[in-house]
């Protein structure tokens, strides 16, 4: 389960476009950060996606992706032209097929092949029509299949694209917009699959075009617990309300704060909040027995300005325990080898942090306090540094040293983050547990840790 938020230039504090997303997946599903430079390709080349191969295009653009380790596609990402995309699992009345392109595959292909948000939308729609969407979407859960919705943004325009099997519908974003694990487009739309309404009438989802409402027609029936149990409607309502309340002053730090929300009725960061008593009705999701099978495995805030696009990634699980670090397409990523897999390795960015994250979960209300001030200081520091770089680029002061300045700030942020997390882990391990979670919660995480081979 995931949440994606977008704010256009008429709603942000600095005239930027901002896209933010939490990727919620299985607890041991290592999530990596990847940079792929632009390339030209030979005629006849194929792209090996997760389950199917597709013809390669003549040129692919540089991309920065946050992705589960086992698939071709990504959960969120951006490209050199300032196009950024996040997707959601949605559950509809239409069949979930055994093979095809994953929604995450289509997102990566769209980023590699599109210079604008509209081009990206058209790329996904074309891929959907040609190959369909299908295949297992889970890492350990081999029954997990779903359809997809997307927020697709660039500096000037943004779209919500929602799908039900081969059918699709799109709405242009006017100011702020969010999506979650539920269909959100109703009777108003700007683009539509030519056969969608006729199909809805034929299936008895509605009686006529005047009666058509995509969300009501195509949302999975109430017996399908994934939409209702996933609390997508509640999370969508919360993120929508949060952005509307902030409209005109939305910035990167506020998006980070929303991604760290736990209790949808209270302020985003609640120090007394306990993940062992949490639910799917959180933006920052933590796994627990029976009712919450996933956790937030990576988080992203894309800050899109004409002079410079900076992408803030955690690359680690649970934004409440993580640090957002600045990355740009021009400078790329520091060396993050090895990429994480589905078991603990002790060396990858994701698994190094996961030891800390799971130690904090053993006594969240007291242990989260150990990291909170350092976390705030770190992000404030690098937000100021990036703001200065953006200001200098806009003023023409970094015309020849722009890439070096970006590379340096990214390098220092990742290095400092690693040192901070090592310090936090030592302090967390030194602090005795003050309030131990319940028996079933502890057993649940013990089993997950054994599967991950965490020492």
**Cβ pair 113, 56 in contact under 8 A:** no
3-state secondary structure 252-315: HHHHHHHHCCCCCCCCCCCCCCCHHHCCCCCCCCCCECCCECCEEEEEEEEEEECCEEEEEECC
Q: Measured between alpha carbons, how far is 413 from 389 in angstroms, rounded to an integer?
A: 14
Q: What would the two tokens of residue 92 be?
A: 């509809």
- Choose, from 2, 182, 217, 320, the residue flagged as catalytic: 2
**Cβ pair 36, 113 in contact under 8 A:** no
Stated as kind and residue range, the H or E segment containing 246 is: helix 232-246
Q: Measured between alpha carbons, how far is 315 from 321 in angstroms, rounded to an integer?
A: 12
C-alpha dihedral sign at 33, 36, 37, 38? negative
Q: Measured between alpha carbons, how far is 24 from 284 in angstroms, rounded to an integer?
A: 8
Helix intervals (H) in 31-148: 103-113, 117-131
| 320 labelled catalytic | no
Residues assigned a catalytic role: 2
């Amino acid at each position: 389960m995931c949440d994606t938020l977008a704010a256009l230039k008429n709603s942000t504090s600095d005239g930027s476009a901002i896209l933010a997303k939490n990727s919620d997946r299985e607890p041991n599903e290592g999530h990596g950060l990847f940079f792929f430079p632009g390339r030209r390709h030979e005629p006849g080349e194929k792209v090996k996606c997760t389950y199917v191969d597709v013809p390669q295009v003549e040129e692919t653009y540089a991309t920065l992706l946050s992705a589960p380790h086992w698939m071709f596609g990504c959960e969120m990402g951006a490209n050199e032209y300032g196009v950024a995309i996040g997707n959601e699992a949605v559950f509809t009345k239409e069949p979930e097929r055994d093979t095809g392109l994953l929604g995450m595959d289509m997102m990566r292909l769209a980023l590699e092949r599109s210079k604008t948000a509209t081009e990206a939308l058209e790329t996904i729609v074309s891929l959907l029509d040609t190959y369909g969407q299908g295949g297992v979407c889970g890492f350990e859960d081999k029954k997990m299949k779903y359809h997809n919705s997307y927020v697709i943004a660039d500096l000037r325009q943004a779209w919500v694209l929602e799908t039900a099997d081969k059918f699709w519908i799109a709405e242009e974003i006017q100011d702020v917009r969010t999506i979650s694990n539920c269909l959100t487009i109703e009777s108003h739309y700007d683009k539509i699959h030519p056969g969608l309404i006729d199909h809805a009438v034929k299936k008895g989802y509605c009686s006529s075009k005047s009666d058509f409402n995509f969300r009501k027609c195509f949302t999975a029936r109430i017996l399908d617990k994934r939409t209702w149990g996933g609390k997508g409607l509640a999370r969508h309502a919360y993120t929508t309300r949060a952005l509307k309340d902030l409209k005109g002053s939305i910035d990167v730090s506020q998006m980070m704060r929303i991604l760290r929300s736990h209790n949808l009725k209270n302020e985003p960061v609640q120090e007394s909040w306990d993940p062992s008593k949490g639910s799917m009705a959180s933006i920052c999701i933590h796994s627990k027995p029976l009712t919450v099978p996933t956790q937030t495995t990576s988080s992203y805030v894309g800050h899109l300005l004409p002079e410079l696009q900076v992408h803030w990634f955690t690359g680690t699980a649970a934004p409440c325990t993580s640090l957002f670090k600045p990355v740009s397409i021009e400078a790329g990523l520091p060396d993050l080898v090895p990429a994480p897999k589905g078991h603990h390795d002790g060396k990858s960015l994701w698994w190094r942090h996961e030891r800390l994250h799971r130690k904090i979960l053993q006594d969240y209300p007291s242990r989260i306090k150990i990291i909170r001030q350092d976390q705030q200081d770190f992000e404030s520091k690098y937000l100021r540094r990036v703001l200065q770089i953006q200001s200098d680029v806009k003023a023409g002061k970094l015309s020849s040293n722009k890439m070096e300045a970006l590379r340096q700030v990214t390098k220092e942020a990742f290095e400092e983050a690693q040192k901070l997390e090592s310090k936090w882990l030592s302090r967390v391990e030194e602090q005795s547990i003050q309030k131990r979670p319940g028996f079933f919660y502890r057993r649940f995480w013990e089993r997950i840790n054994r599967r991950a081979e965490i020492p």
